[in-house]
Structure 1
């Protein structure tokens, strides 16, 4: 009986998550006349890709997609690397004042982005990186790495000391211990962080809106927000924009879901 209750709970939860996506997908392939006549809950009389094509051409979606992939991918890789190096020093190296350093990282991760907007704009403008993808990559690498450092430090604090001592007795340097022992053992957790960092950065809107003002540098969420703010789209084109905006992130998640599963399972096992 309990299993059936759990199963029905999972089914209802999955339905609650999928219904909005299905509605967006259905309305994205309708014609404006079909949407106006039958409403958003009806099935399309005929499949039309005009809304998707119109939105793609209007915002040059391929360019915005490339910007988002480059920025999110770069941030995910760099933030994982920075997090591992920081956590290795704090969790295994036992740096003095480790607790206070972690508190600083935690506070940095909880600061509202509105409080960071003007300082980041000023600094980016002063060093000539304003309205560049590099500025956004640097900013979000620091933001994501603050969380990654906090999480990995707590994980590496309990790292088996026997492995570290055996490697040192064999003459391994600190970098060799990090690259050949710590990183392989922590790979499941790093995979989870990589996926999270990519998706979190992909969904960011406010700071990219502040730091990227040129049309050719904008990311997908910024392009969607700017175009919708100008009220230049009907309901079907709006649905098409939402569909195109979320599909790449879902595809990325599905591709790396095995890494997510391994990471969560490894964490539960520990």
Structure 2
């Protein structure tokens, strides 16, 4: 069965004779159409530029103040260019909170949660979307209702449970909590995707003697890789930015994550703006690097379902 399958790219290369090549006249017409933008196109472009500037404004302010001295900030305000580049804020934050340790804690927690949540979501969705278990609609609804609960409502029950288990002030408590939270969304998304999976492929695999595990491993998993890669990136970034539950569960300074380290710079009545801006700026770098590494995978995963 698999030997007769031909990919879209192979099929295009095989059935692409010279008559599909555009003539110079057609190329000229296409270039002419691209140049003749309407007034609506220019208005849309202008609105997009304005929207992009509005979205970039907080980052620009952050960038301006991260390299100022406190005296420069107090004298010129937050929107002025720095008179001279100062790395004092970065140095202060780096030494005060032991930033490399906090980065490693965040990477370890976010990476482990992302992998475990994707795996758990995949197995749950296979049972609900393809396994067709009884009451799957009610199970999916219950998962989504649980996912809609605010974290404030879960703090005390989670505290009581993990305190009794001896996992309070333990990074594994954060891993377990957010693996379940993130997998709830992943289960809902993947079960919807698996529910539309072609039955003919599954029936053909069953006739060939494939077990449930082999169908999952050799048929469903390879096709779902783009979607799984998107979930992996989202779960990592979402867990990296979590603040409330890690703040309540991680008491020791050695186990805290980057967002908690940034919040430690702010007191009740005093805040070092330049150091906080430097801390916020440097905390973005790891997630930005992670996003750039998986950018191509993310774009492929988002657009995978648009091509049939």
Of residues 206, 219, 222 in structure 2, which corresponds to 1:168? 206
Larger Cα-atom Rg: 2
Aligned residue pairs: how many? Answer: 270
- In the TM superposition, what whole-angstrom CA distance separates every residue of 1:136-158 from its partner, at most 9, and x where no partner exists? 00000000001110111111100
Judged with a 3 Å threshold, the aligned counterparts in structure 2 of structure 1 residues 19 and 162 are, in CA distance, closer, same or farther, namely same
CA root-mean-square deviation: 1.5
Take 2:44 and 2:106, find their aligned partners in 1: how far apart are those partners? 38
Q: Confirm or deny that 1:177 pairs with 2:215.
A: yes
Take 1:9 and 1:177, find their aligned partners in 2: how far apart are those partners? 48
| Alpha-carbon shift at residue 239 of structure 1 (Å) | 0.7
Q: What residue is the counterpart of 2:277 in the other structure?
A: 239
Pairing 1:41-120 to 2, within 5 Å after superposition? 41-120=79-158
Judged with a 3 Å threshold, the aligned counterparts in structure 2 of structure 1 residues 7 and 261 are, in CA distance, closer, same or farther, namely same
Secondary structure at the residue paired with 1:229? coil
Take 1:228 and 1:255, find their aligned partners in 2: how far apart are those partners? 32
Take 2:194 and 2:170, find their aligned partners in 1: how far apart are those partners? 35
Of residues 215, 231, 235 in structure 1, which corresponds to 2:253? 215
Deviates more, 1:221-230 or 1:84-93: 221-230
Take 2:213 and 2:42, find their aligned partners in 1: how far apart are those partners? 51
Q: What residue is the counterpart of 1:123 in the other structure?
A: 161
| Alpha-carbon shift at residue 162 of structure 1 (Å) | 2.0
Secondary structure at the residue paired with 1:44? coil
Q: What residue is the counterpart of 1:142 in the other structure?
A: 180
Take 1:222 and 1:246, find their aligned partners in 2: how far apart are those partners? 14
Of residues 235, 250, 253 in structure 1, which corresponds to 2:288? 250
Q: Confirm or deny that 1:199 pairs with 2:237.
A: yes
Secondary structure at the residue paired with 2:127? helix
Q: What residue is the counterpart of 1:133 in the other structure?
A: 171
Normalising by structure 2, we get a TM-score of 0.84
| Alpha-carbon shift at residue 232 of structure 1 (Å) | 6.3
Is contact 2:169–2:251 with CA below 8 Å preserved after alignment? yes
- In the TM superposition, what whole-angstrom CA distance separates every residue of 1:136-194 from its partner, at most 9, and x where no partner exists? 00000000001110111111100012221222223222112112211111111111111
Q: What residue is the counterpart of 1:25 in the other structure?
A: 63
Deviates more, 1:50-59 or 1:253-262: 253-262
Of residues 186, 208, 224 in structure 1, which corresponds to 2:224? 186
| Alpha-carbon shift at residue 115 of structure 1 (Å) | 1.0
Gaps of 5+ in 1: none
Q: What residue is the counterpart of 2:46 in the other structure?
A: 8
| Alpha-carbon shift at residue 74 of structure 1 (Å) | 0.6
Gaps of 5+ in 2: 1-37
| Alpha-carbon shift at residue 9 of structure 1 (Å) | 2.3
